[in-house]
């Protein structure tokens, strides 16, 4: 594509590079009446504190049963479960949803993060409970290799690959050997070693495929992935009795967070604050004091309990009094930067599969946004929206800090897509990039078995939710599970009862 052609395409950059506001509590000054001016950029407060600016901690202006920090799927679920309580939900961004956020283009929904769920996940039943009907995907993932679309990569696709015979045979051998592994019996061993250990004697094409698949799904390449995760995943997508039990909606799992907000906002709007950046969470003898910035005003509220539905790299910076071992565990969790680039076409460009993998490109895979409604009676595709998942390396996080950098990433995605297969060299009418700085934790060896149990341990009045509290991979289901656990812990504390399973949580 020439520069002139690209000049006619509209690029839209959205999303916040900072998933939250990792502040140092020590920087908060006890100076009443000192309020900073805020010019509307949601990350400016974080940057001011980073640069040494001090803030006052004003007197408590309101008391609540539970204060929930973070309005992603975990925080929204907690609010939904606490509708009988006096709760306050605080979200830094101007919208609810976190990584499961739905957007639309002239009525066509597309995703900006979490794409699908499995029938076995807690999110499936939860979606039904709140009135959503999950729509089946029923399309094993394909791969585009050397310009050729290969449906069902690890099933029938193994016999149709354009690779040389020796490479095709290696794919089949790798599959046989992985299927023979007893993951439950060897789980302790397999969660402690990298997946790359099982790829040493295989052609690079196999490693390249998994180094594409892993960062998109669990944030890590084969060298960084706990072996149990990669092995289990291949057994799921290629086993003899496999069934594609994945479900979703147009817009991905943002449909769940949108539905939760629609249920609770009409009745609890005063208890739900957007654009509210939490800067300190300080337990005292009877309550937990939560200080947050909304607009140009700094506020402090008190809660009998607080649920931190924020990533642990944020939690450890704003919660005062974390045990040293727990803070160290939180610090061991690593996150990747992630961009999701939606290419919006006004004509059919690709409708052959739901999720298609693209080794060797700037993006890892792309999803046909309307896949699960394409066969519904009366549906006519007006726009072909293709959602390109684009995980970045940790050292590339700075590319998402500026609009120019983000546009550059989107331009690279578009360039690679237009060379992907015959017929792909079509200009979209718009390119929408949604950027996130730290959305997906890396499922590294030891994380699930050793780090997460310590990181999520409850404090006396502060309880830990968010998708990075559970495992072994980041998912909407784990965010819901974490919310349910944190709500039970908060309810027990408010009622004066012992915390449920506290010993188990501490020991893992």
- End position of a domain, from candidates 204, 238, 272: 238
What span, in angstroms and rounded, lies between the C-alpha atoms of 43 and 195?
A: 37
DSSP 413-443: HHHHHTTSSTT-----SEEEEEEEEEEEE--
Residues 364 and 329 in one domain: no
Domain boundary among 238, 269, 288: 238
- CATH number of 369's domain: 3.90.660.20
pLDDT digits (tens, 9 = 90+) for 58-90: 999 999 999 999 999 999 999 999 999 999 999
Beta-carbon neighbour count of residue 45 at 10 Å? 21
- Go through the chain and tell me how many residues it has: 508
Residues 321 and 469 in one domain: yes
CB 300 within 8 Å of CB 61: yes
Say whether both 328 and 455 belong to one domain: yes
Enter the DSSP assignment of 237. H
Structural domain includes residue 185? yes
Give residue 240's pLDDT: 84
Of the candidates 265, 224, 334, 314, the residue with the CA atom closest to the CA atom of residue 80 = 265
Check residue 377 and give left, alpha or beta (phi > 0: left; psi -120 to 50: alpha).
beta
- The pLDDT assigned to 20 comes to 47
Is there a single domain that holds both residue 462 and residue 502?
Answer: yes
Domain range for 215: 143-238
> Do 112 and 70 belong to one domain?
no
Residue 508 has what pLDDT? 27
Q: Give dist(CA 303, CA 47) in Å, integer.
A: 27
Burial category of 6 from C-beta neighbours within 10 Å (exposed 0-12, middle 13-18, buried 19 and up): middle
The C-alpha atoms of residue 500 and residue 8 are separated, in whole angstroms, by 58
Spacing of C-alpha 294 from chain mean position: 25
Q: 344 and 483 in one domain?
A: no
Distance CA 420, CA 6 (A): 17
CB 220 within 8 A of CB 333: no
Taking the C-alpha atoms of residue 106 and residue 428, their distance in angstroms, rounded to an integer, is: 15
Q: Where are the beta strands (DSSP E) in 240-359?
A: 246-248, 272-273, 276-283, 288-294, 297-308, 335-345, 355-357
Q: Is 128 part of any domain? A: yes
pTM, 2 dp: 0.92
Query: Are 10 and 133 contained in the same domain?
Result: yes
Q: Residue 395: helix, strand or coil by DSSP?
A: helix
Indicate whether 40 and 79 sit together in one domain: yes
Please indicate, yes or no, whether residues 76 and 207 belong to a single structural domain of this protein.
Answer: no
Distance CA 209, CA 207 (A): 5
Contact criterion met (CB below 8 Å) for 88 and 264: no
> For the domain that residue 478 is a member of, what is the CATH number?
3.50.50.60
20 domain residue, yes or no: no
Flag residues of the chain having pLDDT under 50.
Answer: 19-42, 49-52, 502-508
Q: Judging by beta carbons within 10 Å of its beta carbon (0-12, 13-18, 19+), is residue 71 exposed, middle or buried?
A: buried
402-418 residues labelled b (16+ CB within 10 A) or e (exposed): eeebbbebbbbbbebbb
In a domain, 93, yes or no: yes
Pick left, alpha or beta for residue 131 (phi over 0 → left; psi -120 to 50 → alpha; otherwise beta).
Answer: left
How many C-beta neighbours within 10 Å does residue 81 have? Answer: 20
User: How high is the pLDDT of residue 8?
Assistant: 82
Q: Contact, 202 vs 426, CB < 8 A?
A: no
CA dist., res. 293 & res. 275, Å (int)? 8
DSSP per-residue codes, 152-198: STTTGGGGT-SS-HHHHHHHHHHHHHHHT--TTTTHHHHTTSBGGGG
Domain final position from 422, 441, 460: 441
pLDDT at 57: 83
3-state secondary structure 203-220: CHHHHHHHHHHHHHHHCC
String of DSSP letters for 470-498? S-SS--HHHHHHHHHHHHHHHHHHHTTPP
In sequence order, which residues have a C-beta less than 8 Å from that of residue 316 and are 6 or more positions away? 322, 327, 330, 331
CB atoms within 10 A of CB 128: 11
SS3 per residue for 52-68 = CCCECCCCEEEEEEEEE
What does the pLDDT read at residue 506? 32
Fill in the DSSP letter of residue 400.
G
Calpha distance 39→253 (Å, rounded):
32
Query: Same structural domain for residues 7 and 127?
Result: yes
Residues 184 and 320 in one domain: no
The structural domain count of the chain equals 3
């Amino acid at each position: 594509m020439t520069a002139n052609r690209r000049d006619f395409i509209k690029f839209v950059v959205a999303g916040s590079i900072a998933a939250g506001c990792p502040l140092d509590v020590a920087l908060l000054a006890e100076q009443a009446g000192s309020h900073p001016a805020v010019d509307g950029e949601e990350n400016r407060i974080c940057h001011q504190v980073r640069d040494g600016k001090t803030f006052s901690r004003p007197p408590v202006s309101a008391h609540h049963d539970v204060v929930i920090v973070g309005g992603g799927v975990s925080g929204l679920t907690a609010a939904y479960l606490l509708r009988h309580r006096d709760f306050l939900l605080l979200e830094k961004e101007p919208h609810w949803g976190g990584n499961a956020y739905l957007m639309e283009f002239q009525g066509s929904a597309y995703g900006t993060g979490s794409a699908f769920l499995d029938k076995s996940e807690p999110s499936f039943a939860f979606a039904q409970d709140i009135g959503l009907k999950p729509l089946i995907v029923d399309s094993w993932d394909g791969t585009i290799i050397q310009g050729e679309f290969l449906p069902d990569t690890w099933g029938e696709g193994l016999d149709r690959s354009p690779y040389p015979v020796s490479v095709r045979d290696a794919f089949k051998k790798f599959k046989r050997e992985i299927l023979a592994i007893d993951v439950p019996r060897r789980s302790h061993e397999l969660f402690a070693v990298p997946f790359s250990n099982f790829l040493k004697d295989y052609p690079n094409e196999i490693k390249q495929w998994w180094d594409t698949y892993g960062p998109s799904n669990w944030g890590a390449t084969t060298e960084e992935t706990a072996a149990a995760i990669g092995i289990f995943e291949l057994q799921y997508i290629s086993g003899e009795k496999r069934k594609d039990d994945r479900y979703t909606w147009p817009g991905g799992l943002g449909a769940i967070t949108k539905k939760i907000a629609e249920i609770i906002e009409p009745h609890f709007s005063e208890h739900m604050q957007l654009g509210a950046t939490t800067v300190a969470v300080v337990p005292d003898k009877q309550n937990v004091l939560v200080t947050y910035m909304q607009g140009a005003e700094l506020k402090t509220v008190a809660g009998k309990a607080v649920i931190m539905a924020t990533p642990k790299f944020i939690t450890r910076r704003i919660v005062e009094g974390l045990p040293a071992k727990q803070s160290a565990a939180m610090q061991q969790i690593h996150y990747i930067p992630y961009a999701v680039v939606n290419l919006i076409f006004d004509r059919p460009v690709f409708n052959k599969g739901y999720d298609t993998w693209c080794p060797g490109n700037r993006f890892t895979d792309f999803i046909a946004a309307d896949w699960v409604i394409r066969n519904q009676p009366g549906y006519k595709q007006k726009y072909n929206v293709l959602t390109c998942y684009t995980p970045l390396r940790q050292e590339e996080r700075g590319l998402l800090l500026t609009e120019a950098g983000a546009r550059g990433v989107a331009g690279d995605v578009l360039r690679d897509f237009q060379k992907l297969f015959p017929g792909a060299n079509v200009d979209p009418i718009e390119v929408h990039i949604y950027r996130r700085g730290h959305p997906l934790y890396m499922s590294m060896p030891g994380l699930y078995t050793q780090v997460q149990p310590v990181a999520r341990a409850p404090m006396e009045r502060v309880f830990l939710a968010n998708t990075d509290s559970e495992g072994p991979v980041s998912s909407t289901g784990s965010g819901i599970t974490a919310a349910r656990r944190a709500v039970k812990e908060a309810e027990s504390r408010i009622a004066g009862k012992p915390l449920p399973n506290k010993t188990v949580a501490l020991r893992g």
